Amino acid sequence: MNRRVFSVSAALLGATGALTSALPAWAQAGGQLREGTDYVRLPKPVSTNVPAGKVEVIEFFWYACPHCNSFEPMFENWRKVQPDTVVVRRVPVAFQQNNNFVPLQKLYYTLETMQRLEDLHLAAFAAIHRERRRLNSDEAIFDWAQSQDVDIEEFKKVYNSFSVSNAARRASQLQDEYGVEGVPSLGVAGKYYTDGTMARNLANALQVVERLVALELAGG
């Protein structure tokens, strides 16, 4: 699948003509989304824990996924221009409970706890995909974190904490509740799920998310 990286919203893009040929039929015609084609409705709603009048959007990702690496700058630009009514979360997945996934889940939640996501989230992607570092073990992650001017003793303490382990377990549970089969993918309002395959590409998937958010804010 073509995973081209470009922004979605007019505020980021400026001109949309170049995207027309890549858009699904509903977008070109200004029509309705097609449930079961552009997105799926979850058979059982997932609790979102966001205030009334707000809609949660989740990005499911894996640091070692090349498609996630390509998508992340686009998603980050999209996230930054969302209104206060949209609560954006990232959830690192674990398709197998082994050292290929769990350490990277714990890396994300450690950076989040230490309030270092703003400067190190994209850096973690770069370490894997540009610098070719294999961050697939605790020690490899500790070595990388130390190279990023992180208090390594504090990092290890947080990384090995119960709260981070619990966050990783909750992430895997949420992944199962949404029925995530691949990444990157997107969940909306605890009710809907879409990805680049359903929407034809990831830019379209963000448009689907925007339409679903608007639907929820209008009362579903």
Is 183's pLDDT higher than 90?
Answer: yes
Region 22-33 average pLDDT? 58
Encode pLDDT of 73-102 as tens digits: 999 999 999 999 999 999 999 997 666 799
Segment among 97-101, 111-115, 154-158 with least mean pLDDT: 97-101
Tens digit of each residue's pLDDT (9 = 90 or more) over 141-150: 999 999 999 9
Q: Which pLDDT value is given to residue 30?
A: 56
pLDDT of residue 198: 95
Provide the β-strand partners of residue 41: 192
Please report, as a single letter, which amino acid is at residue 177: E
- Region 116-127 average pLDDT: 97
* Cα-based angle 1, 31, 73 (whole degrees, multiple of 5): 40
How high is the pLDDT of residue 207?
A: 96
Residue 24: pLDDT band (50, 70, 90) is: low
pLDDT of 22: 54
Q: At 104, phi and psi to the nearest 5?
A: -75, -30
The whole-number average pLDDT for the span 207-215 is 96
Residues contacting residue 195 through CB under 8 Å, at least 6 positions apart = 182, 184, 185, 186, 202, 205
Does the 55-217 domain belong in CATH 3.40.30.10? yes
Looking at residue 17, its pLDDT comes to 36
This prediction's pTM:
0.86
CA gap 178, 193 in Å, rounded = 7
pLDDT of residue 98: 61
Provide the 10 A C-beta neighbour count for residue 40.
Answer: 16
Whether 67 has a pLDDT exceeding 60, the answer reads yes
